[in-house]
Amino acid sequence: MMAGGDLERGRSYCILRGETVSGETIDIQPIKLTNALYSRTWTMVNATIDNQSFKLKSIHPDNEEMLRQFGGIENLPPGARLPDLLQAWGELYNKQQPPSSPHRLKAIRLDMYRWEGGGYSDYDKFIESWRKNL
Amino acid sequence: MAQEFVNRVVPSSAFALGVVRSIVHGTFLISVLLTSFSALGTLPVTVLRPTGAMKLLPWSFYDQLQTPSGMVILKTAMVVSLLLSTAGVFTVISTKTSLLLVLFYQGLLRSFGHFNHDEMLAVYYLAVLAFTPCGDAFSLDSLRGKTRTERPLFAYAYPILLMQLLMAWTYFSSALIKLRVAGWKYLSPDNLPALAIFHSLDNLHDTHFRLAFWLPQVRPYLPFAVGLVLVWELLFPLAIFFRRARWWILGMGVVFHISTLFLMNIFFPHQLAMYLIFVNWDWRRRTGCVSCPS
């Protein structure tokens, strides 16, 4: 923020969505699920996509194990821990719904888009998606 | 002579410092009460990236803590400590335990996300209050006769001055950093719209206002608005020494932070609450006036 905005620089961003049991796709606001993170959710998601928790000097034993399975950080797919994060958010969302509600989620996903910059248009070029069945 | 100067520019009583203690600790108490710690405890510990001193704690500790029940225990400890420090009970101890617990909690949150600024000034205020006689008045300790009252006025004035200086520094240094990092490019007409639109595209921010998309229409005027904010930040230290300028500067701060909420979906509620340390609580107690300006 200190450097200000740069119109020429492209930027990626994410939208959290849920697929309900009734077949609807709805936007989900993470702040309503984990309000403690307040204003830090978007950087947590970016860091998770970038696998930053695997790049620490001392990494969590479960992450060490995952690295061993993949044969190193270079083989790790982007967002290796995103399914865990999506699972946690999906379960929190469903806990807020009555058991018979048609708004309960059967899956939750994170859609990534990119604004290439250079002008004030074309904000939503789709890049990729991470999906987790609940 | 320096002490006389300090006593003149800021409130210099145990009462004023006690009110400031209640405001700072009370702000965190409300914030913690409104937060779902059990939901935070469901987030996977494997996305955590301990930062700074948080790296000294072993992963086994985070495995125990980062669970719904672990986080409820942390919340309970924080609520008890902040209740005591806000009310001024066992103030010498409770202000220190509140500082440690809040500092740890803020470190944990930043280990998930990023090092944002909002609560940081108030955390520094907790550190100042933990080592000053902020429970000598406006506290249950003082009502029970558990505090001493024969300290020089300077002992109550300098912590308030220090806190006001810290706030002034956050704004003043913010302007300096912007100029150092971006130079005059910071006044580019695309600076604010590009940044504001980026922060309005996702649904991961706390709010989802779309006012940023209107900014390109008023692009030619934006360098003046950004320049005005820079000047305001550079002049913020005047709020400490000139009472007449103070309310204009703080008023502009309120407008600025509300603008960032609507334009960028970024808000600083803790920082705004800390503006209350600029109120002359001594004067308000003498006059019994709450709504008129000092």
Question: B170 to chain A nearest CA, in Å?
Answer: 13
Residues in chain B closer than 8 A to A60 (CB atoms): 45-46, 48, 59, 62
Of B116, B186, B188, which is closest to A40 when you measure between CB atoms? B116
CA distance B127 to chain A (A): 22
- Contact by Cβ (8 Å): B113, A44: yes
Q: Which domain holds residue A89?
A: 11-51+80-133
pTM: 0.93
**Partner-chain contact A117 B203, CB within 8 Å:** no
Provide the shortest C-alpha distance from residue A76 to chain B (in Å): 14
Q: What separation in angstroms does the CA of B187 have from each of A119, B163, B174, B181, B261?
A: 18, 30, 15, 12, 20
The tens digit of pLDDT for each residue in A14-27 reads 999 999 999 999 99
Query: What residues of chain B lie within 8 A of the CB of A48, using their CB?
Result: 47
Mean pLDDT of all residues in B4-19: 82
Interface contact A43, partner B, CB < 8 A: yes
- Report domain extents, chain B: 15-151, 156-294
The dihedral built from the CA positions of residue A118, A112, B265 and A28, taken in this order, carries a sign that is positive
Q: Taken in order B35, B38, B43, B49, is the CA torsion positive or negative? A: positive
The answer for A 46-75 residues in CB contact with B (under 8 A) is 47-48, 52-53, 56-58, 60-63
Residue B115: list chain A partners with CB under 8 A: none
The tokens of A66 are what?
A: 């995952």
Q: Are B10 and B275 in contact (CB under 8 A)?
A: no
User: Shortest Cα distance from A105 to chain B (angstroms)?
Assistant: 17
Provide the pLDDT for residue B281: 85
Does residue A112 fall inside a structural domain? yes
d(CA A45, CA A30): 10
In a domain, A46, yes or no: yes
Query: Is it the case that residue B292 has pLDDT exceeding 70?
Result: no
- The verdict on a CB contact (< 8 Å) between B197 and A42 is no
Q: What is the pLDDT of residue B152?
A: 86
In a domain, A27, yes or no: yes
Give the pLDDT mean for B177-182: 90
3-state class of B70 per DSSP?
helix
The complex's ipTM works out to 0.93
**Could you report the per-residue pLDDT of B102-123, keeping only the tens digit for each?**
999 999 999 998 888 889 999 9
Task: Give the integer Cα–Cα distance in Å for B267 and B207.
Answer: 9
3-state secondary structure of A67: helix
Render pLDDT for A40-96 as a digit per residue (tens, 0 to 9). 999 999 999 999 999 999 999 999 999 999 999 999 999 999 999 999 999 999 999
For chain B, what is the radius of gyration of the CA atoms? 21
Residue B48: name the closest of B37, B31, B33, B61 by CA.
B61
Measured between CA atoms, how close is B134 to chain A, in angstroms?
A: 29
Q: Is residue A42 part of a domain?
A: yes
**Does the CA dihedral B187-B193-B196-B201 come out positive or negative?**
negative
A30 to B34: CB separation less than 8 angstroms, yes or no: no
The number of beta carbons lying within 10 Å of the beta carbon of residue B112 is: 25
A123 to chain B, any CB pair closer than 8 A? The answer is yes
- pLDDT for A2 equals 59
Is residue A121 within 8 angstroms of chain B, CB to CB? no
- Residue A72 in any domain: the answer is no
Please count the residues of chain B: 294
Domain count, chain A: 1
Is B113 within 8 Å of A81 when comparing Cβ atoms?
no
Q: Is A91 on the interface with B (CB under 8 A)?
A: yes
